[in-house]
Structures are given as C-alpha cells and as structure tokens.
A and B are shown apart, each in its own frame.
Chain A
Amino acid sequence: MAAVDPRVEQYARLLVERSLDVQPGWQVMVVATPLARPLVEEVVRLIARRGAYPLVRLSWTDMEQVPFDSLWGSEAPVEMLETMAPSEARTREELDAWMLILAPENARAGLVLDAERRGLLRKASIPFNRRRLAPGFPWVGCTYPTPAGAQEAGLTLEAFEDFVYGAALLDWDAERERMQRYADRFDAVDAVRIVAEGTDLTVSLTGRHGMVDDAHYNVPGGEFFFSPVEDSAEGVVTFGEFPAVYHGAIVQGVRLRFEGGKVIEATAAANEEFLIATLDTDEGARRLGELGIGCNPGIQDHMGHPAFDEKIDGTVHLAVGAGLAFVGGTNQSAVHWDMVKDLRRGGRIELDGELVQEDGRWLL
C-alpha cells in the first residue's frame, strides 16, 4: 500500500487512544468493510502497540449490528434471524471494546433486507446492545471516507475526506468544555421545548443526566444527548429540512405527533410505508430513545449521513426506539433511528420556559 494520508494515522490514534483507550490484553472488535483497509491497518498497529488483540470483522454490506452479511439475513429461514450464531453471541459477551468503521461501497446495500427481517436481525443484537450501552463499556462508531460516502454527500472523495477529517480531528478537550457548559444547563431543568415551523414539542428530562460526546462514542463527536423520560413527549415535530435516513432507506418530510410519550400519528411526504413499518417493529419503536443536540463546528451541511448530520451545529435530533441505558434511558426496542431537525432558520430551544437557543445560536 502506498503512503497513507497522515490524517488516517491521526484518526486511528484518536479512535484507539481517546475513544476506546485500549488496555493491554483487551480483545477489541473492529468491524469494517475492505475499503477501510488503510484505517483498519493503522488501528490494528496501534492495538498491537497497546498489547491488545484486534478481532477484525470485515464484511461488505451494512454490518452495523448484525454479525453476518445482510445477504444471509435476506435468505435464511425467518425463524433463525432472532438468534445470533452461538459463536457470535459469545464473542459479544466477551469482547472488551467495539469499533465500527462505516466505509460503504454502496450506501444503499442495506436495502437487501426488508423492515421485518431487519427488525428480527436487530432483535438478535439486543443483548449486545444492552451490554454496549451500559455505563463504562468502551465503544465507538466512525466513518472512513469512501467514494460511496462522498457520493451520498454530493462531494468528490477528496472534498469528503477534508470534511470527515475536518469534523473529526478537533481539539476535543476544548470542545468538551464548551459542550459541558450547555449540557449542565439542560441537566438542571425539567422541560425542553423545541419550536420551529410545523414543530412544537416538549419532552421531560426530570431526573435524567446528559452525556457529552467529545469523540468517545462517535467520531466525529460533537453532540450532547439525553434519554428523555419515556412517557413525556407531547406535541408535534416536522423533519421538513432534511430526509430521515435509516439503513440506506430515505424518508422525506417525516412528521410525528406524540401523546403520552408515544407516536400516535406519523406521516411522510415520501416512503411513508417504510416509516410506519419501522415504527411498528415493536412496542418501543414509537417512543423516544434519545434527544441530542448537535454542536460540531466542522459540520454545517446536511450530507445524508446520520453520523454527521446529527452533529450539525444548530440542529437537534430525536431517535425513535431504544433508549440509552448509560444516560438512564429505559425504552427497549430493536430500532434506534435518529432524525435530524434543523433549527437554524426560525427554530428555538426553551428550557423550563427560558429561551436558550435561537436560529441555531446559543444565548447561554
């Protein structure tokens, strides 16, 4: 392999040293596609230097949660899907840290699975997700720039590389301090109200504490997030600015009405069928698992990449489905679908009635 972009090495260092802080003897699972080879090899080298084992798991399509290619999931007997192969299940009980490197060859490859089969496959992952999202377990999800990723973002590969590394290689201690200051204000209040065009939604954070992602769980980081009280969401939210993207599927103009914490009305401008099918995956899929506030100054434009879009400075995102146990969330679901709402044009956030952000700019 030719000379590696020095940013790849810095990226690997960030993942192994800051995000996971790999310790001697650890078994670190590294999930990626073959296209991420330069980053995977740098990561493996740093894992070696820390005296730990890499468990590299390469696959082609959409390995996010499932232990095997989606292709298998699309053709295996349906009754097998809810159970992980014993070897894979055991792997996830034993591993010490988990790294997901998204590096798609085709961002639509995941469409091979219909919503029902995906739901069943994701059920097989619930035990691991419970373990991963419990306090103290080191994990990180990140993106390696590929032509497909660039295409999705409407950029050349070179421009997309600049974007990814620009958003990821920040002074994360400084970012942490800035975000913590906002998060402390949210921690101290009960009600968060989000107002914008077609949107007036209130959720309760009573008794919940937020978590700042300063490049620990996601790289790039740049958000702070909560699991709101599960039965608290009231009102309506319209995701009119950006499409909602879930495992390659695109849903335009999602509008959700909540009552008693639950989605009681869901519409979309296009692909509504997929939205409804996903919300009907299980009991918890209609409740909020997360409220996140995007703060990454390196991300200004919507790219069609959930991992970046949810960090856009001046946005919030709501995830329907699984709550995050490490911030007190109790909602159980096989789904966790982040939908991003832009507040930069006429939106605002109120905390217990006090205006704290307007048009995406902090007043704190």
Chain B
Amino acid sequence: MISTDPRVDAYAKLLVERCLDVQPGMQVLIRTTPLAAPVVTALEREIAHRGAYPILRIGFVMWPANPVWAAEAPEALLAELAEIDRFASDHMDARITMDAPENTRDGSDLPPRRFQLTRQAEHYFFRRTMAGEIPWVSCAFPTEALAQDAGLTLAQFEDVLYGACLVDWEREAERMQHLAERFDAAEQVRIVGAGTDLTLSLAGREGKVDDGHDNMPGGEFFYSPLEDSAEGVIDFSEFPSTYQGHEFAGIRLRFRDGAVVEASARKGEATLHALLDRDEGARRVGELGIGCNAAITRPMKNVLFDEKIDGSVHLALGQSYEKVGGKNVSSIHWDIVKDLRPGGRIELDGERVQENGAWLI
C-alpha cells in the first residue's frame, strides 16, 4: 500500500531514527494491525536502509493478540506465550507497538479470566522494554476507529496525531527538562483543584522526560512517587477514562499512606473496585506524569494522547517504573488523567509552579 500523505514517511523516519535509533543488524519487532499498512511499508524501507531486520507481528487485533484463539484454547496455554514468541521477545533489539484498531472494542467479549491470563502471558513480551534493556516506542496510526473514539473525522484525527508527533523534539526536550529539574529538586508535590487536594513525595526520586522516545507522541515527564506517600483526594471528573476496554467517568480516589482507601465513579464503579482488588499493588500510585504536548488540547479516549495534554497531570494506579526508582508491583498500570486548566494548580514544597495549566516557572 502506498501512502500519498508525506507525513507518513516523516512519521516512519521519526520512529526509526529518533525513537529507536535503529542500528545495522538489529531485529526490530513491529506489532500492529493490517490497517497500518502505509506506515509499515515506510518503516520497512527505513529499516532496510539502516541495514536492519523488521520482524513483523501483524494481527487483526493487538491486545489480546488473538482473541479468537484466546476464547477457545485450553486455559493452561493462555498464561504463557508460545516458546517461539518468547524467543522472539528475548531476542528483539527494538520494539514498535503501534495501535491501529479496526474497532477499539475488539477482544472485549473475552471472559475476564481469559483476558487476565493473556495479560499474564504478555508480561513476558513487555519484560525487557519495561526494564529499559532495549529501545522501544508505543505509538498509533490513524484509523477510523481511533478517530471515532476521539469524536473526530479521520482527517481531523490525522491532523492531531501528526501535529503532536512531528514537532521539534530537541526544543521540547529542553523545555521539559527545565521543568523536570524543579520537580527533581523538590520533595513534595501538591495537586489542588476542584474536589482535589493530593500530596505525593518525590524525595530521592528523579524524573524522566519523554521527549519523543518511548511514546509517540511524547511530551510528558514522569516520576514514580514514594509508594507510601500519597495522601488526600483526587477527582478526575473532567475527562472520561478507558482501561482494558472499559469506560469510566467521574473517578474519585482517596489515599492514605499511599493506598486507595475510598473509591467511587459515576460510571464503571464496579469495574473500578474490581481493578483495585486485582492485587496488592493495584491500590498504589505507580506513576505521576505531567503532560506537556502543546498540540494535544482535548481528550480523545486514548491514554497515549490524553496523558500528554498540556496542562494536565496523570496518576497511574499499579505497576511503577523501575528506571525512575519505582518499586510498586502490580499486573495493572492504569493512567488516569486530571485536567488542571479549569482552576487547578501544582505546588512544589509549597511553592506554586503551575496555575490553570500554565507554568509559572
């Protein structure tokens, strides 16, 4: 498939050159769907020019990889990847996972227990990238289904996606690094807004800036806060949240000593409770992220984009990032985004650094 949109070639180049910096001989695993054909074609060309191998893993659905199989295979097989897939996971030198769904609800009819087992199996696939052993990038290719969830036409969604990705990342890096250094130097972060007053400790923790490496679009910096530090309440009523095919609205969490002690939601409350009960670590904060991508201004029911909204912060319940000192372990990592533009603020050790989503530093 040949694309006539020049942004597709620029996007492929960005992924291969900046995000992964593909080197000769590398095995670059690409996981996506057939709808991403135009960019996969461009990626193959870029990878060929760099003297590396594309390892294509194209499925009709990405998560779980094969719902038709997962619905009927013996449960004993579901919890582990096939040996050949484990080998490919052990030996890939870089990974591109590119969301390009035909229908964002595909796989949602899988019984929860079976879905859970496939997640367990996928853990092996993510193991090395989560440990920071190899370069990786999570990204998306514009499809009608993603545009539909975003409430946009495909052409509008393409403009948002490429507008958020094809930016001067060196300049963005500098801008975000400047902000992150202030957070690094502080111990306590306080987030205040409507129905919200939450403090977290970053003492001894350093942040990481995503300046267009692990996510495309990038445009955030993030921390794993001290696991027992979250205190107070946060109300995520501005945006809906989606996780593993479920939709939520009006989530409200109260933390004590780092753990969620009270949780409610206008929509999806039962699932919220089930997720919090998933395991020991599911009630703790694995990540605090600060969105900084100026090209993303409205939520699109797509966390890859929503968490980068300039003037928002996000908390992830569950698994934290080892590479930024996080110690929390969980089978979930659920990013929930809080908009601070309508009357929110961020304080560092008592000093106000952001108000109504605009930086004061």
Contact = CB atoms under 8 A, between A and B. Distances in A.
A91 B66 CA distance: 19
Interface string B20-52: 000000010100001001000100110111010
B92 interface: yes
A27 B84 contact: yes
A321 to B, nearest CB: 26
B77 A94 contact: no
B33 to A, nearest CB: 8
Interface stretch (B53-61, B244-252, B262-270): B53-61
Interface of chain B: mostly helix, strand, loop or mixed: helix
Contacts of A91: 84, 87-88
B72 interface: yes
A83 to B, nearest CB: 9
A222 B263 CA distance: 66
A37 B91 CA distance: 29
Interface in B215-247: none
B27 A75 contact: no
Contacts of A68: 44, 53-56
A72 interface: yes
A335 B44 CA distance: 25
B37 A60 contact: yes
A51 B60 contact: no
B19 to A, nearest CB: 19
Interface string B66-99: 1011111110010000111101100110000000
A136 interface: no
A58 B58 contact: yes
B295 to A, nearest CB: 31
B1 interface: yes
Contacts of A58: 34, 56, 58-60
Interface in A66-105: 67-69, 71-72, 74-77, 80, 85-88, 90-91, 94-95
Contacts of A87: 27, 29, 53, 55, 87-88, 91-92
Interface of chain A: mostly helix, strand, loop or mixed: helix
B62 to A, nearest CB: 12
Contacts of A137: none
Contacts of B69: 44-45, 47-48, 53-54
Contacts, number: 112
B84 A55 contact: yes
A51 B74 contact: yes
Nearest to B41: A71
B71 A48 contact: yes
A37 B73 CA distance: 19
A41 interface: yes
Interface string A18-62: 000000000100000010010011001101110101111111100
A157 B150 CA distance: 36
Interface residues of B, number: 37
A77 B45 CA distance: 11
A67 B53 CA distance: 10
A254 B231 CA distance: 82
Contacts of B72: 45, 48-49
Residue of B51, B53, B85 contacting most chain A CB atoms (<10 Å): B53
Nearest to A53: B82
B87 A94 contact: yes
A85 B83 contact: no
A237 to B, nearest CB: 39
A-B pairs, top 9 by smallest CB distance, nearest first, are A34-B34, A85-B53, A75-B48, A53-B82, A48-B72, A48-B73, A76-B48, A58-B58, A72-B44
Interface of B: 1, 27, 29, 34, 37, 41, 44-45, 47-49, 51, 53-60, 66, 68-74, 77, 82-85, 87-88, 91-92
Interface of A: 27, 34, 37, 40-41, 44-45, 47-49, 51, 53-60, 67-69, 71-72, 74-77, 80, 85-88, 90-91, 94-95
Given A51-B73, A86-B91, 18 more contacts: A40-B60, A41-B68, A48-B71, A48-B72, A55-B85, A56-B59, A56-B66, A58-B34, A60-B41, A72-B45, A72-B47, A72-B54, A80-B51, A87-B92, A90-B84, A90-B91, A91-B88, A94-B84
30 contacts: A27-B83, A27-B84, A40-B60, A41-B60, A44-B69, A45-B68, A53-B82, A55-B84, A57-B58, A67-B55, A68-B55, A69-B44, A71-B48, A72-B45, A72-B53, A74-B48, A75-B44, A75-B45, A76-B51, A77-B48, A77-B51, A85-B27, A85-B53, A86-B27, A87-B29, A87-B55, A87-B92, A90-B84, A94-B87, A95-B84
